Amino acid sequence: MSKTSIYQLTPPELQALKEYLEDGEKRVTLQQSKALNVCSFFFINKKDGKLHPMVNYHPLNEIAKNVAPIPLISELVDKLLGAWFFTKLDI
């Protein structure tokens, strides 16, 4: 994986980051990770003056590029129903 940059955060960005992390932990949408792969996190200014958090997932996508695609839920359900049906017939 390519190296990621460390961005210097301004005091308003540090405050926004703290609020973003606290809110994410309360909502259980964020959790601490011990993964070795990292992505850059930074803020962009919105038109209304607020800060919008951004994550650069490009390095992570490069690693996951050759991974098999996730199967469709409908296909998995069909396979499970078929397995259950044949199991019942065998009994």
- Residues 23 and 46 sit within 8 Å (Cβ to Cβ): no
Query: Is there a domain that residue 4 lies in?
Result: no
Confidence of residue 27 (pLDDT cuts 50, 70, 90): very high
- pLDDT digits 0-9 by tens, 35-91: 777 778 888 999 998 999 898 888 777 777 766 777 888 888 888 776 655 555 555
In the prediction, which pLDDT does 64 show? 73
Structural domain span for residue 83? 11-90
Domain count, the chain: 1
Query: Is there a domain that residue 6 lies in?
Result: no
Measuring CA to CA, which residue among 38, 42, 56 is closest to residue 1? 38
d(CA 88, CA 82): 10
In the prediction, which pLDDT does 56 show? 85
Which amino acid, 48? D
